[in-house]
């Protein structure tokens, strides 16, 4: 994969060192068997792309036995084209079917091909075919391609040692002759940069990424991006009655903290109540005294990925989106460990909003720290709306796999905004129910509620039902359970195998931009 990606003027590219990528729409008869190579039919290349094909090599690529116009399929033109020694035809799929998800797959295919051939530069001229197709604007197409290139360029090699040979990862310069496509490329790369901030922090091991380390990273990001950052720890947590953080984190030698980031718009937003973004930031989760068994602990450094996503989103909001409304982020950071100081099953915790919680399972700790943040968002921030992200339940993985995040949102207006942002970002959500009967499931015989009902019925909904007790009536709230989507499972598209996806960074950026 490329090491870094930059967008440069097309005039600065030297054709001798760049690869040319053009697009073709699949205009073959609909009855063509799917297993047979599809050809674009008599029209072949669109008129503007054909004008680049001085020697006929691009047309010749369409006649190769391996050619397909399916989305992301790439065929090399023999001998290059238009002064480019290497040229490729990229399949864009059926007419009218192009959308952002397909464009990201196409962008990832181009990025992977650039890495495969070690191209230091690429002229991406697929906009001619996109214009001719008309299903998606060049600016949006460029944004999708930029996101794909940027996400594939993420560097996870910080902890490689001397026993590993460093893989060659050349930098890539991108150019296009279409100004709108170029603007989209720049926007997509900027959003990917914010997502990669979250991904690198997510991948940082727990002996490094302690709550205090996360706080320092937030401060550093805030200084560069122009965000105000405050950290509550120690006695400040006691004064703020952060019951969940104090109890969940007290067994660890790495103390808990609440990290607050604030974006304040310049010349606007005065008097507006903020949108509040909340992230579960468990830097490691052993399960506490309800200890995880077998290999259940492996990968628990990713239990901070809700907070990582919110931190990356705040970077995007401050540097890319720049909305005319205030935005506040709360990262509830703690390590769930084991010691003689650990909180116990049977403990009862009293929260700042007066709700009492009987602890039945110390491995249901994320909801306990999120409860603090939700109380604070309602009372102290006077939130206009709240969105929280958390790797909260294994149940949501059983329900939705790695295709969708679970969405719980009973406010129609906020839900519409989240769904629109999910569609724009390609980070999919699926609404799950929040009937009052689920809240009844969380009732305790000795306190107000349980933190976990031993009955596994409606397991992912239990977490959301618990959290609902800490959101003031009338405050629009959306809970996103990202346990199934925060890490990639395969080496395809914009991600390589077993790395953090940064899920939620782009969705939250799109959400704030659209509100």
Active-site annotation holds for 173? no
Rounded alpha-carbon distances, angstroms, from residue 168 to 2, 339, 453: 9, 45, 51
Cα–Cα distance, 200 to 210 (Å, whole number): 14
Out of 217, 367, 487, 506, pick the active-site residue: 367
Q: Which residue has the tokens 């974006």?
A: 263
- Contact predicate 505/309, CB 8 Å: yes
Q: Which residue has the tokens 């060192």?
A: 17
Strand partners, 389: 279, 480
Helices (H), 254-365: 305-316
Pick from 101, 149, 147: nearest CA to 122? 149
Cα–Cα distance, 272 to 266 (Å, whole number): 13
- Contact predicate 319/225, CB 8 Å: yes
Pick from 442, 480, 478: nearest CA to 459? 442
Active-site annotation holds for 492? no
45 burial (CB, 10 Å; 0-12 / 13-18 / 19+) is buried
- Cα 64 to chain centroid distance, Å, stands at 38
Q: Which residue has the tokens 């052993």?
A: 286
Rounded alpha-carbon distances, angstroms, from residue 415 to 277, 292, 372, 421, 515: 15, 34, 23, 10, 11
Cα–Cα distance, 484 to 401 (Å, whole number): 6
- Contact predicate 389/482, CB 8 Å: yes
Q: How open is the CA angle 133-137-138, to the nearest 5 degrees?
A: 95
Q: How open is the CA angle 349-481-195, to the nearest 5 degrees?
A: 115
Cα–Cα distance, 388 to 277 (Å, whole number): 6
Out of 169, 292, 428, 431, pick the active-site residue: 292
Pick from 96, 148, 184, 130: nearest CA to 22? 130
Give the pair of three-digit tokens for residue 165: 């040979």
Cα–Cα distance, 470 to 279 (Å, whole number): 15
- Contact predicate 368/452, CB 8 Å: no
Pick from 393, 377, 162: nearest CA to 274? 377
Phi and psi based region of residue 267 (left: phi greater than 0; alpha: psi -120 to 50; beta: remaining): left
Give the pair of three-digit tokens for residue 67: 């050619």
Give the pair of three-digit tokens for residue 76: 């090399």
| Active site positions, annotated | 292, 367
């Amino acid at each position: 994969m490329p090491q870094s990606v930059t967008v440069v003027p097309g005039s600065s590219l030297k054709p001798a060192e760049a690869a040319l990528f053009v697009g073709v729409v699949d205009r073959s008869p609909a009855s063509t068997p799917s297993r047979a190579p599809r050809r674009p039919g008599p029209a072949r290349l669109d008129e503007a792309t054909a004008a680049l094909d001085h020697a006929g090599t691009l047309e010749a690529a369409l006649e190769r036995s391996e050619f397909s116009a399916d989305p992301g399929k790439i065929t090399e033109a023999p001998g290059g084209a238009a002064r480019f020694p290497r040229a490729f035809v990229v399949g864009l799929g059926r007419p009218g079917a192009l959308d952002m998800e397909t464009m990201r797959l196409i962008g990832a295919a181009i990025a992977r091909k650039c890495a495969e051939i070690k191209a230091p530069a690429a002229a991406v001229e697929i906009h001619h075919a996109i214009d001719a197709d008309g299903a998606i604007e060049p600016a949006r197409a460029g944004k999708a391609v930029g996101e794909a290139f940027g996400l594939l360029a993420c560097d996870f090699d910080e902890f490689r040692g001397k026993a590993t040979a460093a893989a060659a990862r050349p930098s890539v310069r991108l150019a296009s002759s279409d100004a709108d496509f170029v603007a989209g490329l720049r926007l997509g790369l900027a959003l990917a940069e914010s997502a990669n901030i979250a991904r690198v922090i997510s991948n940082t091991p727990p002996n490094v990424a302690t709550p205090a380390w996360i706080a320092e990273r937030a401060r550093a990001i805030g200084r560069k991006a122009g965000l105000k950052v405050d950290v509550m720890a120690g006695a400040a947590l006691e004064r703020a009655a952060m019951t969940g953080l104090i109890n969940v984190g007290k067994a660890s030698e790495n103390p808990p903290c609440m990290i607050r980031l604030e974006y304040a718009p310049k010349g606007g937003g005065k008097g507006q109540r903020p949108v509040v973004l909340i992230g579960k930031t468990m830097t490691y989760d052993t399960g506490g005294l309800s200890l995880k068994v077998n290999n259940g602990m492996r990968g628990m450094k990713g239990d901070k990925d809700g907070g990582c996503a919110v931190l990356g989103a705040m970077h995007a909001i401050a540097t890319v989106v720049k909305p005319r409304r205030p935005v506040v982020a709360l990262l509830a950071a703690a390590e769930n460990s084991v010691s003689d100081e650990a909180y116990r099953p049977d403990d009862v915790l009293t929260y700042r909003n007066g709700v009492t919680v009987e602890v039945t399972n110390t491995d249901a700790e994320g909801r306990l720290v999120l409860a603090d943040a939700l109380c604070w968002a309602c009372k102290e921030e006077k939130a206009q709306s709240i969105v929280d992200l958390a790797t909260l339940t294994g149940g949501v993985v059983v329900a939705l796999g790695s295709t969708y995040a679970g969405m719980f949102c009973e406010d129609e207006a906020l839900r519409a905004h989240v769904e629109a942002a999910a569609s724009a970002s390609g980070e999919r959500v699926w609404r799950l129910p929040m009937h009052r009967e689920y809240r009844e499931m969380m009732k305790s015989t000795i306190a107000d509620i349980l933190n976990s009902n031993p009955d596994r019925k409606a397991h992912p909904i239990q977490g959301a039902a618990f959290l609902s007790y800490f959101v003031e009536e009338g405050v629009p709230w959306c809970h996103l359970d990202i346990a199934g989507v925060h890490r990639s499972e395969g080496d395809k598209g914009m991600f390589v195998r077993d790395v953090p996806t940064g899920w939620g960074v782009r969705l939250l950026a799109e959400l704030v931009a659209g509100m």
